Amino acid sequence: MPKKKTVSGGVKNTLTATILSIFGSNPFKSLNYKQVSKLLSIKDKAGKDLIHNILLELTKEGKLTEERPYRYLLSKAMIQEYGEKNAFVTGKVDMKSTGKAYVTPDNGGEDVFISANNTAQALHEDTVKVYLFPKRKNRKTEGQIVEVIKRNKTDYVGVISISKEFGFLVPDSSSMAVDIFVPKSALNKAKNGEKVIVRITQWPEESKNPFGEVIKVLGKPGDNNVEMQSILAEYNFPLEFPKEVEKEVEKIEHGITKAEIALRRDFREITTITVDPADAKDFDDALSLQKLKNGNWEVGVHIADVAHYVKEGSPTDLEAQNRGTSIYLVDRTIPMLPEKLSNNICSLRPNEEKLCFSAVFEMNEDGEILQEWIGKTVINSDRRFAYDEVQKVIEGGEVDLKEEILVLHKLASKLRSQRMKDGSINFHSEEVKFILDENGKPLDTYIKVQQESHMLIEDFMLLANKKVAERIGMPVGRKKVKTFVYRIHDEPNPEKLNTFLQFIGKLGYSMNISTREKLVKSYNDLFTAVDGKGEKNLVETIAIRTMAKAEYSTHNIGHYGLAFKFYTHFTSPIRRYPDLIVHRLLERYLLQNKDSVSQDDYEPICKHASEMERRAAEMERESIKYKQAEYLSDQVGKVFDGLISGVSKWGIFVELKQSKCEGMVRYNEMPGDYYYLDEDNYRVIGQTHGKIFRLGDPVTIRVKKVDLARKKLDFVIMDTDQVRNW
């Protein structure tokens, strides 16, 4: 009788070590003996039995844990041992529509790639703990999400799809890689195909999808109001003010007492104007001008005294702090403060007495600041101007207060010239505007051009913001600087700057980065060189991305882009919460002479305000993308001229010349050849005939498809014969 084969101790030890390494490479994933056998390519019954026995032994030794019957994972002690070699990081999730993700570590290290099967139950922008896999040569850092530390949000917007027994929310956001299961009992009268808000209530471990309930029915997809509300809800921005805030604001009196006026510097008899967009209602800044006896000019920058009406810690104040900023969607403004305050009591409307916090400057004809004063005032604006009216005056037109406007324009130009000499970077950006009908449907689009009238106001606001920050940040005769809220902007990231230099080099441009002065001049020269060209938007966008983002902080590092050592936001307290804090701190320090507030109390408020500013910008972009798609939705089949604005592995992006709508032309729909991407040189090349499409090239396209729900446009390139015969 033949002897039964046995496994030698050496082989078993090797097999045990290999099994441990399998669990160690993915320590938070449970496996059964069949899965381990498959990974080891063991198919016979005897081999599988051996694997099963080893798993049992490792469990007895405390190296594995039986998570549930017949499924094992690495024990906590072993995870710690592996963790010492590989480490954990915490960070924020950037989820892709494919389900894969990247985690940006809190410590500022390299982004960690997370495959779709290792994201656990993490969602976009959640704060998570990541286990790092052993680093492989010439490979990006990879890991596995092992814990959701903080959920970014639980409410999601989308279209509800309902069957007989249950529903699923198909989220609007491309960053939401899973649908949300909604039991029939939690539909709350939602109808199939409606836009709704669903709140995640639980996510069972064994389920691929989170469970949720409908908390609000928004209405029919495609309705303008529904779509705008959807954007706000997607970013967790409140759709209405709490009742306690509305009640509090209703009690605020319009009138100004004589006693209050007596406490302030009186500017009511001095010529004062406001300049804003034609459709604006919240006027939070005004300019006054008078000629002094010594021949100099006195310019007053008057800002609505919102802090007089909104008391710190009140329901209105706490709601404003939560919102952080007003939101400017294409067809509406969602104010930070209720309209009674933002459009009425605090708004510096003409021919009404208004309370202000002001920065007043004595200037000579060369725009030099000879004296300055910061304090509380009362004003009465003589005239409300739209930017276009002021521009006509600058260009030689006639209007009342023409002389005053021209003096302000001359002084602003002097300030601007000096700022540019001092190293301010003249960043360019185009703002898309729409002409809407009474239902919010876009009839036409145009690009808002920054004119000298805009610069006039901007230069005086920059001056006020700078001087206010200097007053607190560099006090005379006081060693200890008091806590203040600054608007800071760090220097460019060296790696991003180097990547940008390589990018523009391939487009035929160059920059000198040997000194800050030469870098600034190079930026400004580059913006001039790309003006009117197809690569303009991409170059300007990437240029801005080389810079750190401007943000709010109590830790001052200066403002790199403006070349200011001290800078803050003081001039828009109706629509920005940090400005309201700045007003309160100015009053505390300059008028009440009180001690410094705690930096630890104010830094979290700064971080929240910076985050809400970022969200506001994203909401505004989303509303523009929706309106651009809506604008082209009834123009499918029409032909337009455009410029190639980007290239990707899927196709080329084309921006239409007139409307600035951007869509994609997919490679498999490009005429006459098979095209491939030459990513390094920002172009695509025809494989057979060698035809090249470069970034910035003019092309003619036909609108093929508009996906309004996803705000996406599909174009088809037309060749010369097609255009001629169309």
Q: State the amino acid at position 696 in one-letter form.
A: G
Q: Which domain holds residue 45?
A: 9-79
Beta pairing partners, 559: 489, 564
Beta pairing partners, 287: 273, 301
How far are the Cα atoms of 185, 197, 210, 221 from residue 191, in angstroms, in the given order?
13, 13, 20, 12
How does 439-456 read in b/e, with b if 16+ C-beta sit within 10 Å? ebebeebeeeeeeebbbb
pLDDT the model gives residue 10: 62
Beta pairing partners, 38: none
Segments in the chain below pLDDT 50: 1-6
pLDDT the model gives residue 720: 60
Instruction: Read off the pTM.
Output: 0.83
Distance in angstroms (rounded) separating the CA atoms of residues 348 and 710 = 40
Domain count, the chain: 6
pLDDT the model gives residue 504: 87
Q: Does residue 287 sit in the same domain as residue 384?
A: yes
Q: Does residue 255 sit in the same domain as residue 186?
A: no
Q: Does residue 609 sit in the same domain as residue 645?
A: no
Distance in angstroms (rounded) separating the CA atoms of residues 588 and 49 = 77
pLDDT the model gives residue 203: 94
Residue 428 lies in a domain: no
Distance in angstroms (rounded) separating the CA atoms of residues 500 and 541 = 11
Q: Does residue 160 sit in the same domain as residue 265?
A: no
* Cα radius of gyration rounded to whole Å, the chain: 31
Distance in angstroms (rounded) separating the CA atoms of residues 556 and 487 = 8
Q: Does residue 176 sit in the same domain as residue 320?
A: no
Distance of CA 597 to the CA centre of its chain: 29
CATH number at residue 60: 1.10.10.10
CATH number at residue 111: 2.40.50.140
pLDDT the model gives residue 352: 96
pLDDT the model gives residue 29: 77
Q: Token match 């490679």: residue?
A: 667
CATH number at residue 189: 2.40.50.700
Residue 459 lies in a domain: no
Q: Does residue 172 sit in the same domain as residue 137?
A: no
Given 150, 183, 199, which residue is the final one in a domain?
150
Distance in angstroms (rounded) separating the CA atoms of residues 581 and 585 = 6
CA 620-624-625 angle, 5° bins: 115
Residues 6+ apart with CB under 8 A from 438: none
pLDDT in tens, 5-47: 445 556 677 788 888 878 876 777 788 888 888 888 888 888 8
**3-state SS assignment for residue 626:** helix
Q: Does residue 146 sit in the same domain as residue 159?
A: no
Residue 510 tokens, joined: 């160059």
Q: Does residue 388 sit in the same domain as residue 252?
A: yes
**Residue 152 parent element (H or E):** none
Q: Does residue 280 sit in the same domain as residue 408?
A: yes
Q: Does residue 521 sit in the same domain as residue 567?
A: yes
**3-state SS assignment for residue 554:** coil
